[in-house]
Amino acid sequence: MTVRRLAAPAPGWITTADVVVVGSGVAGLTTALRVRAAGLRVLVVTKAMLDDGSTRWAQGGIAAALGDGDTPEQHLQDTLVAGAGLCDEDAVRTLVTEGPDAVRRLIATGAAFDRDGDGEIMLTREGGHHRRRIAHAGGDATGAEISRALVAAVREDEGVELIEHALVLDLLTDAEGRTAGLTLHVMGEGQRDGVGAVHARAVVLATGGLGQVFSATTNPAVSTGDGVALALRAGAEVADLEFVQFHPTVLWLGPDAEGQQPLISEAVRGEGAHLVDADGVRFMVGRHELAELAPRDIVAKGIMRRMQETGAEHMFLDGRHFGAEMWEERFPTILASCRAHGIDPVTELIPVAPASHYASGGVRTDLRGHTSVSGLYACGEVACTGVHGANRLASNSLLEGLVFAERIAADIIERDRLGKLAPRHEDTTRPVEIVPLLAAEARAEIQRVMTRGVGVLRSAESMAGAAEGLAALVGSDLEKNEPPQVETWEATNLHLVASALTAAALLREETRGCHWREDAPDRDDVHWQKHLITTLNEGRLQVR
C-alpha cells in the first residue's frame, strides 16, 4: 500500500517518546498528565504557544450533573435530543456518568470554578439543557481558567517534554501499518528546528477543530483541520464531517468580516438575554419550547430564517435588562469585547449572526479513543466519539475532551502494563506518494468557496459548486512549486478537509441537526439515520 505524505524536506532531527500528544487544549494536556503520572515518557507538540488552542476561548463552561436534583440520566436525555438521532448512546452514557468525577479531578488539578457564598459551584443553563448544569469560571472565562490550570500542571512536571510552535505533518507507520510516530515542522530556530521526526509507541491527536475552513469562525487561526487531514492521509476513518455547528450568536462585525470573530456565549441567553429583530420582536418564542435556549442548530436556523424574512444581515441580542453590575461580574470578557468594537451591551442591542463554531464530526474513535489505525488515538474536537451526533449540546465539548482523554490515558497505561505498547519502527520500504502543496493564497479561496456553498444554508447546487471550486484548485496556478512552508501545509490540509466535508454533505440528502439543506428540508430517518464514514483511498475520497 502506498503511503501518502505532504511534500516536505527529510527530517533533520529525530527524538523519541513513549507517547506523543499533538495539541495542548483540555484533551491533549489531560491525556499528557494522566499518562505521565504512570511514568511513561510524554512529548506534547503544540502548534503555537501551550495555551493558544481553542480551549482558552471557551466562554460558557463545562456541563456536568453536579447540581441538586440533576442526574446523569437527565444530562443524557438532553444530549440525545440535541444530537438529532445520531448520538452513540453508549458514548453519551460514558460522558455523563464519568463527567462529574472528571470535573472534580480537574478541580483537584487546580481549576477554580465560580462559587456562591456557601462555597458551592455556581451553575447556569445553556441551550438544550433543562437544568442548570454548566459550571463556569471567571464569569465567562471558563476555558481560559481550565487552560491556565492544565498548563501550570504540565509546566510543573519536568517529565513532560514540550515542543511549541510545531506543525504536525504526517503519521509514521511500521510494516504492519501500525503507528510508529510522526513528522513535524518546528517554526523558529534552536536545537530542533525545521522538519523532524518523533518515534513513539502511541500518538494522540488532540489538534482541535477545522473552523478555518470558513471565512468567519469563532475558532483561532491555528484551527486548520491538521489532525483530520493527517488521519485521512494515514488511512484512518473520519465520520460525521458534514455536521459543522454554526454558533447562533457571534458578534456581527459587518458583511466582509473574516477570520476569528468574537463569540457571545450561550450563557448570556442562559441568564435571560433575548433574541430580537430590528423591531424588537422575540422571534424564537413559539418556534421551540425553550425559545432562545433551544439547541444551537434550531436557534441558528431561527436567526437565519428571520434574516431571510426581514432582509436583514443580522439579528440582535438584548441583555440591557441585566444592568451594568451583572455584565461586569458575570460576563466581563464579553463586555470588554463588545465595547472594543463600539457596542455597549449595558445600553445597546448586540448585533449577532451565526458563524462556524464546532465540528461535531472528526476522526472516528471507539470508547477508548482508538482510531481505525493501530496506535493512533484521537480526542477532543478532532475526534468523533459519537457523543455529539448531528449537533453538539452546549458545553459538552470541554467535558468530552476531559472524559475521553482520561479513557485514552487509561488504555495506554493498561496496554503498556500488558506489554502491548511495544516499540515500533518506521517502515521505509513502502512507496511514498508525495502530496503537492497549495500556495498560501489558496486558503482565502477555500474559505470563500466553503462559506458560499457549504455554510449554514446548503443545497445540492451550492455544494456541487463548492466541490467544483475546490477541485479546480488542484493543478491550478495556486499549486506551489517553491519550498514548503507552514502556510502551504495549512492550505493543503484545509483543502483536503474541505473536500471531505463537502463530499459528505452532498451525500446526506436531508436536514438533520446542524446540516441544513434547503432542497431537502425534512429529516429522513428511513434513509439517513446513519453515520457517513469518509476515507482516502489511493488519493480519492470515498464516503459511505
**296 assigned to active site:** yes
- Give the per-residue pLDDT at 476: 85
**pLDDT tens figures, 317-366:** 999 999 999 999 999 999 999 999 999 999 999 999 999 999 999 999 99
If we measure between CA atoms, which residue out of 421, 427, 411, 356 comes closest to residue 378? 411
User: Residue 355: in which H helix or E strand, if any?
Assistant: strand 350-359
Q: Residues 6 or more apart from 289 whose CB is under 8 A from it?
A: none
| CA separation for the pair 379, 396 (Å, rounded) | 13
pLDDT for residue 191: 62
Structure-block grid coordinates of residue 412: 495506554
Residue pair 243/388 in contact (Cβ under 8 Å)? The answer is yes
Q: Provide the strand spans (E) within 272-319.
A: 274-276, 315-318
pLDDT tens digits, residue range 200-244? Answer: 999 999 999 999 999 989 998 899 999 999 999 999 999 999 999
The set of long-range contacts for 525-532, using a CB threshold of 8 Å and a minimum separation of 24, is 525/85, 529/85, 529/86, 530/86, 531/86, 531/239, 531/240, 531/386, 532/239, 532/240, 532/241, 532/242, 532/504, 532/507, 532/508
Would you tell me how many other CB atoms lie within 10 Å of the CB of residue 306? 20
Evaluate whether 128 touches 394 at the Cβ level (below 8 Å): yes
Supply the pLDDT for residue 479: 81
Helix, strand, coil percent content, the chain, rounded in steps of 5: 35, 20, 40
Q: Is 205 exposed, middle or buried (0-12, 13-18, 19+ CB in 10 A)?
A: buried
Q: What is the pLDDT of residue 480?
A: 76
Please, are residues 296 and 397 in contact by the beta-carbon 8 Å criterion?
no
pTM, two decimals, is 0.94
pLDDT at 58: 77
What was the pLDDT predicted at 225?
97
Annotated catalytic residue, options 296, 306, 458, 512: 296
Cβ atoms of residues 22 and 208 within 8 Å: no
pLDDT 10s digits, 94-108: 999 999 999 999 999
Rounded Cα–Cα distance for residues 382 and 208 (Å):
5
Strands 259-260 and 216-217: parallel
Distance, in Å, from the CA atom of 274 to the CA atom of 464, rounded to the nearest integer, reads 37
Q: What is the pLDDT of residue 295?
A: 85
Question: How confident is the prediction along the chain (544 residues), in pLDDT tens digits per residue?
Answer: 788 999 999 999 999 999 999 999 999 999 999 999 999 999 999 998 887 777 877 777 999 999 999 999 999 999 999 999 999 999 999 999 999 999 999 999 999 999 999 999 999 998 889 999 999 999 888 999 999 999 999 999 988 999 999 999 999 999 999 999 999 999 876 567 899 999 999 999 999 999 999 998 999 889 999 999 999 999 999 999 999 999 999 999 998 888 889 999 988 999 999 999 999 999 999 999 999 999 888 899 899 989 999 999 999 999 999 999 999 999 999 999 999 999 999 999 999 999 999 999 999 999 999 999 999 999 999 999 999 999 999 899 999 999 999 999 999 999 999 999 988 899 988 899 999 999 999 999 999 999 999 998 899 999 999 999 999 999 888 887 778 999 999 999 999 999 999 999 999 999 999 999 999 999 999 999 999 999 999 899 999 9
